[in-house]
Amino acid sequence: MTTVDRDTRSVGGFQFACGESVDDLRLAYEAYGDPSDPTVLVCHALTGSQNVAPLGEFGEGQAGQARAWWGDVVGPGKAVDTAECHVVCVNVPGSCYGSSGPALTDPETGEPHGTDFPPVTVRDWTRAQRALLDDLGVGRLHAVVGGSVGGMNALDWAVAYPDDVRRVVPVAAAARLDPQCLALDAIARRAITTDPDWQDGDYYDGPRPTDGLSIARQIGHVMYLSKDSMERKFGRRAAGRDATRDSFPVDRAAAYFPYRDVESYLDYQAERFVDRFDPNSYLYLTRAMDDYDLAAGYGTDAEALAAFEGELLLVSFTGDWHFTVEQSEALAESARDADVPVAHHVVSSDHGHDAFLVEPGKVGPPVRDFLADGVAGRAVTDTADENRERTGRRRRPAAGRLERLGPRHRP
């Protein structure tokens, strides 16, 4: 039986990349399995939580990505096997599931931090995770795995702690967002900050800016789906007879036109989301994602990855226009230029960005085999087969076991 450690810990004072500090950074986490086994850190996506697997308790009323958001990939006997690995997932600073962020109470004032909380970056997440792992007595990691912006977080480990992790797996991620995604994120944030109830982020004693957050979430959902998946799921169909337009005000003429299935879906998803997520956290986390640039401070992606001593698996999806196959391939080329052992595994899918969550049967095998055998893993494919010949790496038998790791040796 897999044991579960669910807690919130203080890692003490913490200075963020912006230069501001907090005296007591608190981080909520869940850890599964035996701490003496090789440790795999799983990094959650934008609105995800530390509850990555269906093995721990979680707060009442939470749903969606807040609860067991990768339960088909992480767990006993699954791709990230909690029977063989010690798996840790940390709620990142700025989020709203127990870690320090805008919604958490400031001990000095007794009120929520709101927008007085320092701006956060992906590097802040990485450093905070390292601090918590140190507190837990975890040294060098066997692997860091993450999806979406969690994949950016995983990738950042290869740069921030290049000798601290053996294998890094960014799934449906990229070295940076493209301008189209930056634009859509900006519109989503403006939906929140122009909601009259936002009150410059000081809304915790009154009505929450639910309309703004609802619209922001709906924009996000459109980004996560592909044209093909939307056509298959919704087409131009009208919503069911009992569906009503009561989520937002509508103009008088709306009664003449159909309330479409796609509208009803977006309204339903928004209604569920606003019950579990903090609007200020949405602002903070999207800005962290937008800001991330692998090459920042280095010049090129290859130079950023040059010191990484481990192996890299990039998993991309053909229907994903949020983080595209082309972006992952460019990152793979940079890793090859830096002589980092890398495989770019492309999954054929029309599910869009959500594929990393909804197609575990395609994600699990390459992740499982990469964790066991690196780029030589049996189910791992690479867009550049000649890469194996160029580097002289040979495929090893899939042993089905993970090596025990020595102590962390970063300077």
Q: Hey, which residues are catalytic here?
A: 148, 320, 353
Q: Reduced to 3 states, what is the DSSP secondary structure of residue 245? A: coil
Burial of 222 (0-12, 13-18, 19+ CB in 10 A): middle
CA angle 152, 156, 161 (to 5 degrees): 160
Are 73 and 21 a contacting pair, CB within 8 Å? no
Are 208 and 197 a contacting pair, CB within 8 Å? yes
Are 284 and 102 a contacting pair, CB within 8 Å? yes
Pairing of strands 111-112, 14-15: unpaired
Neighbours of 114 (CB within 10 A): 18
Are 169 and 145 a contacting pair, CB within 8 Å? yes
Q: Give the Cα separation of 344 and 354 in Å (integer).
A: 19
* Residues facing 228 on adjacent strands: none
**Rounded to a whole number, what is the distance in angstroms from the first to the last CA of the chain?**
37
Please state the length of the chain. Answer: 411
At how many degrees (to 10) do helices 279-291 and 179-193 cross?
160
Phi–psi pair at 243, nearest 5 degrees: -70, 140
